[in-house]
Amino acid sequence: MKKPIFDLIIKGGRVIDPALGFGREANIFIKDGTIVRIENDTVASRKKIDSYPADNLLNAEGMLVVPGLIDMHVHLREPGREDEETIITGCQAAAAGGFTSVCCMPNTFPAIDNQETVKFVLSRAERADARVYVVGAVSKMLKGEELSEIGDLVKAGAVAISDDGGYVQNPQLMRHALEYAKMFGIPIISHAEDQFLCAGGIMNESFQSTRLGMIGRPAVGEVIAVLRDIKLCEFIGGRLHIAHVSTAGAVEAIRQAKAQGIAVTAEACPQHFCLTDDMIGIGFDTNLRVNPPIRSQKDVDAVITGLVDGTIDCIASDHAPHAEEEKDVEFDQAPPGMIGLQTTLGLVQTFLVDKGFLSWADAIRKMTVNPARILNLPGGTLQAGASADITIIDTDRKWTVRKKDFLSKSKNSPYVGWKLSGQAAYTVLGGRVVFGRN
């Protein structure tokens, strides 16, 4: 047997790379952590591969082979709440969920509003099972008062800024943030919910909140926040990214802004295309409490339409780990948020691909090249020369979400017990198989 030229060959899978417009059976050759080439899965190519030692082969027959998925919206909780998640455990969950890159939000303790904290996160991520990109804070301590040292943040490696968890309520500060961020070519990620309209709210305002006697977060609280940011972006320029779009009104506002050529992009999370607010009254599951809240069927339909027509560019999890003791309480006392790194791919297949809303190419686009372009990340493609970040998806796999299978330190998922289709079979990071399911 000859000495292998390649470190890893992924053979026989259906390779989809929306960035390259590639979609057929092919073999991927990897050397030194980099993709060397993709060959169509011909008899000749097969013959060559079959002479390789089995250790260097990954059989992807019957599976999808796609660029390593990027989750542009996660909370890794480190520094500060290492009991809920660490960079290492969050990245293990990412790898198991098929994600090779994650972008972590700055609402840690201390907040990621200074270059030392960016460096700390990046140094912790060096040995992790996924690439970590840092989103820095818009304002010092996310207080919405003064800009953080955005130049420093970018210099240390931040790829975007956000006060995620809350809205930059002061329009003057948001204006200045857009102006200032323009210098560095980074987008501002907006958690668009007006703090006054949503004050005290714990679920969507609808007949369901009326019925349950809970304080609502009205859809208009998101719509107004999105519209204001769009108008500021139109006036100032710069780049605006709307996080976790959840309402029909926000989808429509973004659609119109895009039609006018305003530089706005958007993401949607599974909870806003899989869950509806009538689920809350069934068991008062605090894992269903999230901001923005799970909405009505009309909003779910609009988010799906936005994903289909391209208004919504990305799919992200908003993975938000919370300790069990903080969630196992009265509904209104529980902190908002749910984990999502290990369920997002299955929910995307089950609710978007299998139902015929998105082709695999479109779904993958929203989890690879689109977030990569928005954040100027190097990944998101299988192009020769790119880092070998690759996700192999077993689309035939039917599985049940189980608490014990979560690698995240926190288990706050409303999907436990759900039956889903599709799961990552292998996750390859820089040519290294960081996750494999047997």
Partner 1 sequence: MKLQSRHLLGLEGVPADEISLILDTAITFREIIERPIKKVPTLRGITVLNLFYEPSTRTKISFELAEKRLSADAITFTTSTSSVKKGETLKDTVRNIEAMKINMVVVRHSSSGVPYFLTQCLDSNIINAGDGAHEHPTQALLDLFTIRQKYGHLDGLRVVLIGDVKHSRVVRSNIWGLKAMGASVAVCGPSTLLPYEVEQFGVDIYTDLEKAIDGADVVNIMRIQLERQQAGLLPSQREYTNLFGITADRLRLLNKNYTIMHPGPMNRGVEITPEVADGESSVILEQVTNGQAIRMAVLYLLSGKREEEE
Active-site amino acid positions: 318
Kindly determine how many residues on this chain lie close enough to bind partner 1 according to the rule CB under 8 A. 20
Specify the residue, 92 or 209, whose C-beta has the smaller distance to partner 1.
209
Among 156, 192, 214, 428, binds partner 1 (CB under 8 A): 214
Backbone angles phi, psi at 275, to 5 degrees: -120, 150
Instruction: Dump the DSSP string for 277-313.
Output: GGGHHHH--GGG--SSPP--HHHHHHHHHHHHHTSS-
388 SS3 class? coil
Q: Are 129 and 103 in contact (CB under 8 A)?
A: no
Which is nearer to partner 1, 212 or 308 (by Cβ)? 212
Confirm or reject binding of residue 394 to partner 1 (CB under 8 A): no
Please give the radius of gyration of the chain, using alpha carbons only, rounded to the nearest integer: 21
CA angle 65, 67, 72 (to 5 degrees): 135
Our CB check for partner 1 shows the closer of 249 and 431 to be 249
Can residue 206 be called a binding residue for partner 1 (CB under 8 A)? yes
Neighbours of 355 (CB within 10 A): 10
Q: How far is the CB of 339 from partner 1 (least distance, A)?
A: 21
Among 67, 136, 187, 216, indicate the residue that binds partner 1 (CB under 8 A). 216
The label of the residue with tokens 């390789």 reads 52
Only one of the segments 17-25, 44-52, 167-175, 205-213 lies at the binding site for partner 1 (rule: CB under 8 A); that segment is 205-213
Closer to partner 1 by Cβ: residue 23 or 281: 281
272-291: which residues touch partner 1 (CB under 8 A)?
283-284
In 3D space, the residue among 352, 341, 273 whose CA is nearest the CA of residue 71 turns out to be 341
- Pick the closer one to partner 1 by CB: 214 or 242: 214
Least distance CB 259 / partner 1 (angstroms): 30
Name residue 319's beta-bridge partners: 74, 338
48 three-state secondary structure: helix
By C-beta, is 214 or 392 nearer to partner 1? Answer: 214
| CB proximity list for 59: less than 8 A, separation 6 or greater | 11, 12
Among 36, 88, 122, 212, binds partner 1 (CB under 8 A): 212
Give, rounded to a whole angstrom, the gap between the first and last alpha carbons of the chain.
Answer: 27
Which is nearest to 94 in space by CA: 341, 293, 280?
Answer: 341
Q: Among 211, 298, 402, 403, which residue sits at the site for partner 1 (rule: CB under 8 A)?
A: 211
Q: How many residues does the chain have?
A: 438
CB of 122 to partner 1, least distance (A): 35
What number of other Cβ atoms are within 10 A of residue 183's Cβ? 11
Binding of partner 1 by 187 (CB under 8 A): no
> Which segment (68-76, 199-207, 260-268, 354-362) binds partner 1 by CB under 8 A?
199-207
Interface positions, 322-361, toward partner 1 (CB under 8 A): 325, 328-333
Out of 90, 218, 293, 371, the only residue in the binding site for partner 1 (CB under 8 A) is 218
User: What's the min distance (Å) between Cβ of 217 and partner 1?
Assistant: 11
SS3 state of residue 381? coil
Q: Is 55 or 325 the residue whose CB approaches partner 1 more closely?
A: 325
CB of 402 to partner 1, least distance (A): 19
- Does 195 engage in binding with partner 1 (CB under 8 A)? no
205 near partner 1 (CB under 8 A): yes
CB of 250 to partner 1, least distance (A): 18
Q: Could you tell me which stretch among 38-46, 158-166, 206-214, 386-394 binds partner 1 (CB under 8 A)?
A: 206-214
Q: φ, ψ for residue 240 (rounded to 5)?
A: -115, 130
199-230 burial, b at 16+ Cβ within 10 Å, e below that, comes to: eebbbbbbebbeebebebbbbbbbbbbbbbbb
Q: Which of 145, 207, 384, 398 binds partner 1 (CB under 8 A)?
A: 207
CB closer to partner 1, 20 vs 323: 323
* Contact of 391 with 363, CB cutoff 8 Å: no
> To which H or E segment does residue 184 belong?
none
> CB 326 → partner 1: shortest distance, Å?
9
* β-bridge partners, 37: 29
User: Considering the complex, what minimum distance in angstroms separates the CB of residue 94 from partner 1?
Assistant: 30
Residue 416 contacts partner 1 per CB under 8 A? no
Give CA–CA dist 98/104, Å, rounded. 16
Token pair, residue 58, equals: 């990954």
Q: Which residues bind partner 1 (CB under 8 A)?
A: 205-207, 209-214, 216, 218, 283-284, 325, 328-333
